[in-house]
């Protein structure tokens, strides 16, 4: 569940508390959680954390020792958490890795019940290859021109495109739903057929929704919390996600539930109409009809 806003909030919290701390050791509870570089664990002992960044939904720690820099990449996956902990605190089930530190925060624990996330240990070339091969540009760093060119160059449904990590990094199901409603665009719109004004609306909505979520500490719809234990509050501002059957916030109709790309899409039947192609190639707006078998 953690998406870009949640990962960004995690990074900001970590930076404020452990940047500059020295790694005294790394404890690994499950070796299969460390997908790459487990043989380099000993190198990190005595290394200083010099940077903590986000790439898409990943948290990237840069550690420096003796003029060399290596990286710890934590994929949060569906349920991953990075949590501060005191050394004496019991070890909860599903704690798979611990960064033991010398500093005000003695431990950062990587917890993941569903184990979709992984941890990777890389040198500079390895981390660049890993991140660049898996993740596209960050939506909060995109210019409108680059964003529009991405849309024009991709055929396929709009929601699937927004959630494709190699195209745009960090957006998942929660924020794709919220962004598309804010932009008044249907999830099944063809990305390369948006008008200039639709592209503009989508770009603005993407920035407004993601930045608004970061300002509220992310969305804690399940178990998400930042490392110091605080929960996000943006779920209180969701307009459509998991709002099936509720009245549209704009007062124009109701929210219905449909399925696209195997993920739940929450759509207003009046605000987000699906354009249909005429025989002459022009577009015609069509209302969404709720299927009797859904």
Catalytic residue numbers? 2-3, 57, 263
Tell how far CA 270 is from the center of its chain. 28
| Four-residue CA torsion sign, 187, 192, 196, 202 | positive
218 touches 5 (CB < 8 A):
yes
Please give, one letter per residue, the 3-state secondary structure of the chain: CCCHHHHHHHHHHHHHHHCCCEEEEEEECCHHHEEECHHHHHHHCCCEEEEEEEECCEEEEEEEECCEEEEEEEECCCCCEEEEECCCCCCCCCEEEEEEEECCCCEEEEECCCCCCCEEEECHHHHHHHHHHHCCCCCCCCCHHHHHHHHHCCCCEHHHHHHCCCCCCCCCHHHHHHHHHHHCCCCCCEHHHCCHHHHHHHHHHHHHHHHHHHHCCCCCCCCCCCCCCCCCCHHHHCCCCCCCCCECCCCCCEEEEEEECCEEEEEECCCCCEEEECCCCCEEEECCCCCCCC
């Amino acid at each position: 569940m953690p998406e870009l806003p949640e990962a960004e909030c995690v990074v900001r919290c970590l930076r404020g508390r452990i940047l500059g701390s020295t790694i005294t050791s790394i404890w690994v509870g499950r070796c299969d959680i460390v997908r790459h570089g487990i043989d380099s664990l000993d190198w990190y002992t005595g290394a200083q954390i010099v940077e903590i960044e986000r790439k898409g939904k990943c948290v990237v720690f840069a550690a420096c020792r003796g003029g060399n820099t290596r990286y710890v990449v934590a994929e949060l996956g569906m349920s991953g958490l990075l949590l501060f902990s005191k050394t004496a605190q019991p070890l909860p089930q599903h704690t798979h890795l611990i960064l033991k530190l010398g500093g005000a925060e003695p431990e950062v624990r990587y917890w993941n019940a569903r184990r979709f996330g992984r941890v990777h240990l890389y040198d500079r070339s390895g981390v660049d290859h890993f991140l660049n091969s898996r993740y596209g540009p960050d939506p909060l760093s995109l210019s409108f021109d680059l964003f529009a060119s991405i849309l024009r160059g991709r055929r396929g449904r709009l929601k699937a495109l927004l959630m494709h990590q190699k195209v745009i990094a960090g957006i998942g199901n929660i924020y794709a739903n919220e962004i598309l409603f804010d932009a008044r665009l249907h999830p099944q719109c063809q990305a390369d057929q948006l008008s200039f004004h639709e592209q503009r609306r989508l770009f603005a909505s993407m920035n407004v929704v993601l930045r608004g979520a970061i300002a509220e500490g992310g969305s804690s719809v399940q178990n998400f919390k930042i490392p110091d234990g605080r929960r996000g509050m943006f779920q209180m501002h969701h307009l459509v996600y998991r709002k099936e059957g509720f009245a549209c916030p704009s007062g124009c109709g109701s929210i219905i539930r449909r399925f696209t790309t195997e993920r739940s899409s929450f759509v207003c039947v009046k605000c987000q109409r699906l354009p249909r192609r005429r025989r002459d190639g022009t577009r015609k707006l069509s209302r969404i009809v709720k299927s009797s078998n859904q």
